[in-house]
Structure 1
Amino acid sequence: MKICVFLFLSFLSLCTNAVVKRHDIPPEKYVLEKGPEYLIDMPHEGHGVLIDPQWVVTVAHTIFYDYVEKNLKIGSKTYQIEKVHIPPDYTEPSKNLLIGDLAPLMSFFKSRSDIALIKLTSPVSDVEPVNMYTGENEVGEIITVYGRGATGNGLAGEDPDTKSLRVMNQFQNIVESAEGNWIAFTFNKPENALPLEGMHGSGDSGGASVIFQGGTPFLVGLSSWQLGHGDISTFKGGLYGTIAYQVRVSNYRDWILRVMGS
């Protein structure tokens, strides 16, 4: 049992997300009194994003069990989940990937489609959905990312004990690559960082990553996983130099529209 728990926690630290901050900036600078209304808390943990009055997008690994008929609080009202759609090439890692060298697990993460669409039984009436980014020029864009998971800083990494606090934070970073399923960025040290530079860690999976155009947010990514090296038993999330991967929403636009249309 202890081995199983260790493997599960190691897996979560790699593929769920939190706001990890610069060590030289007061942590409260990242805190938001209220996040955007289109950002939704999932039933167990992690987030979803309202992209249509009756549809929420999230990462598939936040779907821990059958969420049909579960409730989501959106705005001032509660809505019931009617159906969850997940691409066929999403799978969970086998136990042998959760021990030893991280390289096979990293390859596994990169090869799958970590996205899910949730249909609600009725349309949301009091929250404006966020627009999806429709371009393919994410590289070089400044993204703003939201989440209420664990916090920490780039020197010490993320602190799992803060996860239960559920504080809403935001951070920024610059997209360095946008290929296939993923956009990626690096958590840089202060001398090369944005004023509110950060990255995701434990508890923010599915959190919205947006760019602002003319003051309007456009959904670019969904927080998904961190690139790790070495043995999984020594992995520490959220350190300076770590590369973060987010689901590239533009890559799934056709699938999203096809599922919503069906």
Structure 2
Amino acid sequence: MKVWLFLFFCFFSLGTNAVVKRHDIPPENYVLEKAPEYLIDMPHEGHGVLIDPQWVLTVAHTIFYDYVGENLKVGSKTYQIEAVHIHPDYTEPAKHLLEGDLAPLMSFFKSRSDIALIKLTLPVSDVEPINMYTGENEVGEIITVYGRGATGNGLTGEAPDTKSLRVMNQFQNIVQSAEGSWIVFTFDKPENALALEGMHGSGDSGGASVIFKEGGSFLVGLSSWQLGHGDISTFKGGLYGATAYQVRVSNYYDWISSVLGS
């Protein structure tokens, strides 16, 4: 695994696989017995989402190396990766951004396009892909977000040593901002929070953010990064008041369509 990705997961909850929960709600209330079938575990950390019988959408920073030939389990079957398409505006952070003040790294994350498409060698036959949201009015919507890995609560933050448990959780939040590439929400304290309020955390990258309306499920976002302040060495993810950034799927609909069409 690349060194910068190790730092990325450890310090920021920015490539995420965790669900950080309210401290006053039983943790088991967030646990899912079974994940949605369109949610796919990536080869190492993070998730992808089946958006077409032969295509998986994820965040680019879950692609640690050339995944061609690697296997993905979708539903009850295993499929091989034929190709990986990373957005042309995705770049990795320079080493100097991974130390000292977080502000330059946060600006870097905000400026790039953290999204990728994975093509399978064969179409999936027994799992229904999720529909992508194509509107522009995500603000105010309640989203349900899925993740498997480290957990914690808003008082103490996430506990990285729980990541190996690989428990599937869900949480909810309300979209506060949806402009350009990003959907943004805040992990509110209990007095202002939803019943299953939460935050993505370390390892949850690519986890689906979904809205339910008109009798269907729609993919609106992919867990990507969490806003940090101060020095990288003292950052603690998953505390109340934390701000999450998720890839805004509607913003990339044309790029997704062009890759699938090609």
TM bucket, shorter chain: over 0.9
Q: What is the match of residue 94 of structure 2?
A: 94
Q: What is the match of residue 11 of structure 1?
A: 8
1:9 Cα offset (Å): 4.2
Q: Supply the AA of the counterpart residue of 2:15.
A: T
Q: What is the match of residue 116 of structure 2?
A: 116
Alignment of 1:12-161 (within 5 A): 12=9, 13-14=11-12, 15-17=14-16, 18-161=18-161
Q: What is the match of residue 166 of structure 1?
A: 166
1:215 Cα offset (Å): 3.2
4+ residue runs of structure 1 moved beyond 2 angstroms?
A: 7-10
- TM-score, normalised to structure 2, is 0.97
Q: What is the match of residue 232 of structure 2?
A: 232
Q: Supply the AA of the counterpart residue of 1:182.
A: W
SS of the aligned residue for 2:171 comes to strand
- Structure 2 CA distance for aligned equivalents of residues 85 and 181 of structure 1: 18
Greater shift in the superposed pair: 83-92 or 241-250: 83-92
Q: What is the match of residue 247 of structure 2?
A: 247
Task: State the number of aligned residues.
Answer: 258
1:8 Cα offset (Å): 5.1
SS of the aligned residue for 2:201 comes to coil
SS of the aligned residue for 2:219 comes to strand
- TM-score, normalised to structure 1, is 0.97
| Structure 1, unaligned runs of 5 or more | none
- Structure 2 CA distance for aligned equivalents of residues 140 and 10 of structure 1: 33
SS of the aligned residue for 2:228 comes to coil
Q: Note the alpha carbon deviations across 1:44-99, whole angstroms, 9 max, x for none.
A: 11000000000000000000011001000001100000000011110110110000
SS of the aligned residue for 1:146 comes to strand
- Structure 1 CA distance for aligned equivalents of residues 64 and 179 of structure 2: 27
Note the aligned Cα RMSD (angstroms): 1.1
Q: Supply the AA of the counterpart residue of 2:166.
A: R
Judge conservation of contact 1:206–1:224 (CA < 8 Å) in 2: yes
- Structure 1 CA distance for aligned equivalents of residues 217 and 131 of structure 2: 7
Q: What is the match of residue 201 of structure 2?
A: 201
- Structure 2 CA distance for aligned equivalents of residues 88 and 10 of structure 1: 23
Q: Supply the AA of the counterpart residue of 1:34.
A: K
1:204 Cα offset (Å): 1.1
- Structure 1 CA distance for aligned equivalents of residues 119 and 6 of structure 2: 29
Q: Note the alpha carbon deviations across 1:224-244, whole angstroms, 9 max, x for none.
A: 000000000000000000000
